[in-house]
Amino acid sequence: MSLSIRLLGPPEASLCGRGLRFDTRKALALLCYLATEGSNHPRIKLAELLWPRSHERHARTDLRSTLSRLRKALGEGGGSSEGNGLFAVEGDLLGLKPGGIELDLETLEAAVSLARSETSGPPLGASSADRSANGAVEHKDILNRLEGTLGIYGGEFMEGFSLKDAPEFELWLEVERERWRSLFGELCERLSGLQAAAGRLGQAIETARLWTMHAPLEEDAHRRLMELLSSGGDGEGALRAYEGFRGVLRRGVDSEPSSRLTELADRLREEVEERAALVTGLAHLTTTALSAFQVPFVDRHEEFGELVSEYGACVSGQGPRVLAVMGEAGIGKTRLVKEFLGWAKARGADVLEGAASEGAVLSYGPLVEAIRPRMERERAPEDLLEDAWLSELGRLLPELKERYPDLPPAPSGEGETAKGALFEAVARAVGALASRAPVVLFLDDLQWADAATLEVLDYAGRRWAEQGAPILVLIAGRPEEMGDNSSFGGWLPSLVRRLPARSLTLPPLRNADIEVLLRRLTRAEEELVGSSGEPGAPNEARSELERFGAWLAAETGGQPFYLVEMLKALVEEGKLVIRARPNEGLLLEVGPALRVGVELSSLPDSVRDVIRGRLYRLSQSSFELLVAGAVLGRRFGFGVLLAVAGMKENECLRGLDELVGRNLLVEEGGGRGERGTFPYPAAYSFSHERIRQVAHTECGWARRQVLHRRAFEVLEGSGAPPAELARHALAAGLAEPSFRYSLAAGDAAADVFAMRDAIVNYERAWDLLVAGQEPRGALKVSDASVERLYNHLGLAYELTEEWDKARVTYETMLAFARDSGSAKVEVIALNHLAVYSFHHKGDIPGAKALLEEAMEVAKEACLTEVLVETACNLAGLMVYRPAETGPSRLLAEEALATARNLKRPDLVARTLSTLARLETWASRFEAAAARAEEGAKLSRQLAARPAPTRATLPSMLAEGMGLSASWRAGTRAMEALSLSYLGYVRLYQGRPQEGVAILREVLEISKGLPERAQVIGSCALAQTLREAGEFEEALARHREGAERAHEAQDAYLLASYLLQVGNDYVSLQNLKEARAAFEEMVERGHLKEAFHATFCMLAVFSEDWEDAHAHARKAHELGTFFQPQFSFFLHHQVEALLRGRDEELAREEARRLAERARDSRRDRMSHLRALAVLSEWEGDTERALGRLRKAEALAEEIGLPGELWQMRAKIGELLERRGEVGEAHQAFSRAAQILKDLAARIKDEGLREGFLAAPRVRRVLEHH
């Protein structure tokens, strides 16, 4: 047996190469403690360490239980000899046997010892006289061995592990963490010295980087890295390492590096001639005065250093990083990142850039914008991705299908499976680029991002982390734009918890920074230092500059965008002057209007005023062109701009020149592509979003409406996305196109699994329809469109588990239908509300009333198809009410005949599924099997067919709310449901092995469906396992199903699972937990008919005959024990009725099952047990024994050990009562053997001990 334990990093254990999982954290804690400490320890010490708050006896019990779990996980079986296997047991002492465990701690200790021995002798750089050739080879091997050992340190000792209720254990953890952190640091320090001395400088630097990664606050680690980088000629890298460490100290412990390290950094800084490159960036003025007026990059060197540090971490093998640059609009986020992107490009990075736009609900928009140009530049995208993934990517980039017409179509998956494939394609595309060169993915203005973009980033980030891909994701966002409904606001903090991600907030510029900026623009620093003019000139110039700088700082608040716009406005007004000087280029001068004596307060007092002033100085044609661009959005092409502005081509070109020259618009792209002869068209964007916003508002409402109408007309003909068309139509006041394209945009988002984005678009259509921007009733849309909107919106809410919103949608749908007189929409709305009421309120009478109302409306309006669906839902609701089984079945039979006549196979499959359910619970097993098999076959065929139009969805499922939002998911769910009923049939017929095989097939089908569908079949399978004696597994499956149902807020499913959880505890003889489960079941509003049957059982087991009799009579009135899942326990009801002197009722209950008993071995067994109770009551012990023995034979034949032990125990009681002690002893012995076998299958020590300690079980074992 080979046990491997890794404690450096998150604790892991594996046995013979197979990873181990432990039931409890304390089991893992015990194993790790024993492995680390070695030797043997008193049990009381271990118990107090891990369970300090428990009484000694309880703590010892917990220790014993935990040890049992450990031994089970380690494959040591359930024997009683604790000394077998890996554990060493000596009296009250417990430990691990030496020699059978591979421990990473021992590997690290051995490496440190080896490194110490190497560094204590002559260095590896010693002369040949000091070291023989053989010795050199030996030391090389040692170096290789030590380098190979570095990977053993995966992080802090037991990283992420904690026991909050065990403070002594927590203290032990902290001591051990410090110990192993120090040992690893010593190894890195000694090894990097050995590597450097041996000429392995690159490896030495990587060793030092690894040390800094694992010890980010350790100054010695960073000093070693700086020294090694400097010795390798990378002084710039050494300074970046210093700035990174200083930033870590400030953020982490609000401290500064030591004076020793600071002095080292100062010396390095003096040696780096290109230091200013990181600080000033684009500190130059262009050849024309205002055409590209650029302000130097000032006082962002620390933030820039953060970006460089994150990039360095990516390329050094630390995997992907995420850095969010946050700050208000205009604070300089984009400028900072653009500077960095230029730096990264110069070092070989592959840069992808995209941005979100305000008001644009285009799913995955920022990612599409980032990836599309890169894929266009790629000579052979098929070399990046396999065809299957390229096809998936074609969902977002349709041009790929045009470029490669032979690509196979994207798989027609549904729900989470298909969405995952699309996300995987995006992750693989960027990951493939990163395999060639480091990738920097910059996404700007992500506060406006759609939910789908954030979701795919979350998925892709985790995939890139798994691959260790060198990808730096840079995000820019504005906190002030994140409202209560912003997805970004909640997404970013959660991302930080899951990935190496951090946030960087940019502050305003300080007064000193602004003064430095002005000195650079005016070259004042140069003049003041080297001036030889008049004595007072420098002081006067300095005074003037300081005066202007103080005013500028006060007016702008250090906001860079406001500051830049103010400077540009002053240049345009002539108050600042750009002059050219020989051999000096351009510089800025303060004009006469701003010199001493001029009131500076007369200048604009808001950034909007500044921008407005700049716009008013434009020519009329340029202003109109700018406004047209503002209407189009963040980015647009020349052709579209020309059409929307309504200008002639030459006039438009002149206007563009002026706008680009004044730096209001920026020209992007253009030129010939790498692959072909066709040039890429240029695109234009605003130099800042604030300029676009001002231009948009300044043009006036009427002009905006006209321009949006033109934009809509132009873009509609060019195949623009529906979301963009909806935005323009809405702003243009075009009600019908706004509604139509909002609905289409919702469908488009749903088609790429962006359900939250779909909801945004559907809600916009709803606003137009119900509230509207025009008077109610002015918007004329078809009933089909209304039905489509409310269906899709409600189902989208269901898939995102926003149940209350789904209900409100259906209620509004109902009100609209009644106002407009649309009977079909009314019927569908009533169905939706009934299903909601059934699942989430537990209101079966209310749901039934809604469905009966829907039936009447459908009949009156002759709506045959929706009548069939309504009939199926109504019949399905009544399944647990035996009194209504007959009418429900007739209703479903009529619906089936109608569906066949309509030639609607989906409706046929739906009604077959409903009938299979009804026949199963009515115990008409052969009929149920026939319906289930036909329904499953037809549903399987439907799922393989192409999906109909989105307007045609599969029928609703009372058993799987929300699954009908997808054609394939709905039809596959119907197949799973039909097969699950077939599994029940085989179970109730006494053919459990067949049932298990069918139900496992159901689980395989469910894996390809949304998570909530995975509960289909699991309940029946777990019930089958319970009857086969696998009590623990059945309980675990039923508990898991209950948790899922609770998360989905589905009261029906939750009640169904709680019923089975209670039955599991009954099998385990834990009546307290069984009662709790049954009580919660009743509280949920479902399966109330089961209340009396379940509590009758509990009262019988407790021998509370008065209570048992009361429940038995109620169960008789409801016919509960006649249902197949309760007929198993009929003998308990019969006994309770007899004890209450209701002999005739007891005989009647037994007679009711007689007919069914002829066709089902399981029911025949139950009938015989009930008859045995009657015979015993009559005093005919012989007859009672005969009937029990026949039931015993059937139970053994079917394979029902949970019932078999009870029958044999009862036989023993009857024999003992007759004085046949020997035969009674044999019966009890056979019952006891079954009980022991059942207990051996229960691995949880608490469950097993509780089972064996139950009074009924203990009586049998004591007789034995």
Q: Are 101 and 3 in contact (CB under 8 A)?
A: yes
657 token code pair: 């020149």
638 near 656, Cβ under 8 Å?
Answer: yes
The pLDDT score that the predictor gives to residue 975 is 87
The residue type of 1135 is E
Across 341-345, 440-444, 580-584, 778-782, least confident range: 580-584
Give me the residues paired with residue 444 across strands: 355
pLDDT score of 479 more than 90:
no
Query: pLDDT for 1062-1077, tens place per residue?
Result: 999 999 999 999 999 9
For the cut 60, the answer to whether the pLDDT of residue 949 exceeds it is no
Amino acid at 995: G
CATH T-level assignment (fold) for domain 866-1016 = 1.25.40
Listed as own residue / partner, the contacts of 108-114 with beta carbons closer than 8 Å and 24 or more positions apart are: 108/8, 108/149, 108/152, 108/153, 108/180, 108/183, 108/184, 108/187, 109/183, 111/145, 111/146, 111/149, 111/152, 111/187, 112/183, 112/186, 112/187, 112/190, 114/142, 114/145, 114/146
Residues whose CB falls within 8 Å of the CB of residue 1085, separated by 6 or more in sequence, listed in order: 841, 842, 843, 844, 1051, 1055
How far, in Å, CA of 352 to CA of 367, rounded? 9
Q: What is the pLDDT of residue 921?
A: 80
Biggest CA–CA distance in the chain, Å, is 133
DSSP symbols for 429-457: HHHHHHTTS-EEEEEE-GGG--HHHHHHH
HEC string for 651-716: HHHHHHHHHHHCCCEEEEEEEECCCCCCEEEEEEEECCHHHHHHHHHHCCHHHHHHHHHHHHHHHH
Summarize pLDDT for 455-464 with one digit per residue, the tens.
889 889 888 9
Could you say which architecture CATH assigns to the domain 1-124+132-200?
A: Orthogonal Bundle (1.10)
Rounded distance between C-alpha atoms, residue 416 and residue 138, angstroms: 56
pLDDT of residue 133: 45
pLDDT (mean) for 352-377: 84
Strand duo 18-19 + 12-15: pairing:
antiparallel
Residue 1134: the pLDDT is: 93
Nearby residues of 853 by Cβ (< 8 Å), 6 or more positions away? 830
Q: Count Cβ neighbours within 10 Å for each residue of 121-143 and write b for 16 or more, e otherwise.
A: eeebeeeeeebeeeeeeebeebb
Secondary structure element (H or E) that encloses residue 286, with its range: none
Burial label, 1211 (beta-carbon count in 10 A; 0-12, 13-18, 19+)? buried
> Of 975, 1040, 1053, nearest to 1009 (Cα)?
975
- How far apart, in whole angstroms, are the C-alpha atoms of residue 321 and residue 299? 24
* Range with top average pLDDT, 27-31, 270-274, 418-422, 597-601: 27-31
Q: 5 with 31: CB under 8 angstroms?
A: yes
Hey, which bits of 334-469 come out as E strands? 350-355, 439-444
Mean pLDDT of 1168-1178: 94
What is the predicted pLDDT for the residue at 1009? 63
- Residue 127 pLDDT exceeds 50: no
Confidence of residue 582 (pLDDT cuts 50, 70, 90): low
Q: Are 1057 and 1037 in contact (CB under 8 A)?
A: no
In this structure, what are the phi and psi dihedrals at residue 475, rounded to the nearest 5 degrees?
Answer: -125, 135
Q: Would you say residue 880 has pLDDT above 50?
A: yes
- Tell me the mean pLDDT in the region 328-348: 81
- Any idea what the Cα angle at residue 499 is, between residues 306 and 802, rounded to 5°? 125
CATH 1.25.40.10 intervals, the chain: 866-1016
Question: What pLDDT does 388 receive?
Answer: 82
Grade residue 252 by pLDDT with cuts at 50, 70 and 90.
confident
Question: What is the reported pLDDT for 273?
Answer: 45
User: β-strands 585-590, 576-581: how paired?
Assistant: antiparallel
Q: Compute the average pLDDT of residues 63-75.
A: 85
| Cβ within 8 Å of residue 967, ≥6 positions away | 414, 947, 948, 952, 953, 954
**CA–CA separation, 453 vs 460, rounded Å?**
10
Run of H or E residues at 786: helix 783-799
Query: Where is pLDDT greater, at 411 or 24?
Result: 24
d(CA 1239, CA 1030): 10
Q: What is the reported pLDDT for 537?
A: 46
pLDDT digits (tens, 9 = 90+) for 1130-1145: 999 999 999 999 999 9
pLDDT, residue 480, reads 65
Quick one: average pLDDT of 428-434?
93
What confidence score (pLDDT) does residue 80 get?
42
Mean predicted confidence (pLDDT) in 592-614 = 60
CATH 1.10.10.10 domain span(s) along the chain: 1-124+132-200
Helix (H, G, I), strand (E, B) or coil at 89: strand
Tell me: pLDDT of 486 over 70: no
Distance CA 12, CA 7 (A): 7
The phi and psi torsions of 667 (rounded to 5 degrees) equal -85, 130
User: Which has more confidence, 635 or 1232?
Assistant: 1232
Q: Which helix (H) or strand (E) holds 900?
A: helix 885-902
φ/ψ bin of 1044: left (φ > 0), alpha (ψ from -120 to 50), beta (otherwise): alpha
Total residue length of the chain:
1264
Helices of type H across 51-122:
56-73, 104-120
**Integer Cα distance of 429 and 308 in angstroms:** 24
The dihedral region occupied by 21, where left means phi > 0, alpha psi between -120 and 50, and beta the remainder, is beta
Tell me what pLDDT residue 675 has: 45
Q: Which of 816, 810, 881, 817 is nearest to 848 (CA)?
A: 881
pLDDT class of 942 with cuts at 50, 70, 90: confident
Looking at domain 301-505, its CATH architecture is 3-Layer(aba) Sandwich (3.40)
Structure tokens at 380: 């052979």
For CA atoms 550, 551, 554, 560, give the dihedral sign. Answer: negative
Where is pLDDT greater, at 268 or 968? 268
Contact 471, 461 (CB under 8 A): no
Mean pLDDT of the chain: 81
Give the contacts of 499 (CB within 8 A, at least 6 positions apart).
Answer: 320, 322, 461, 462, 465
- What pLDDT shows up at residue 36? 92
Place of tokens 């430095």: 516
Token pair for 281: 């960036």
- In the three-class reduction of DSSP (H, G, I as helix; E, B as strand; rest coil), residue 1219 is classed as coil
Query: Using one digit for the tens of pLDDT, what is the confidence trace for 1099-1115?
Result: 999 999 999 999 999 98
N- to C-terminal Cα separation, the chain: 38
| Sequence ranges of the chain with CATH classification 3.40.50.300 | 301-505
Which of 180 and 286 is assigned the larger pLDDT?
180
pLDDT at 1010: 59
CB 313 within 8 A of CB 321: yes
Which pTM value belongs to this model? 0.59
Per-residue pLDDT averaged across 991-1002, rounded?
A: 86
The highest-confidence range among 498-507, 992-1001, 1153-1162, by mean pLDDT, is: 992-1001
Q: What are phi and psi of 505, to 5 degrees?
A: -100, 125
For the chain, give the percent of residues with pLDDT over 70.
Answer: 83
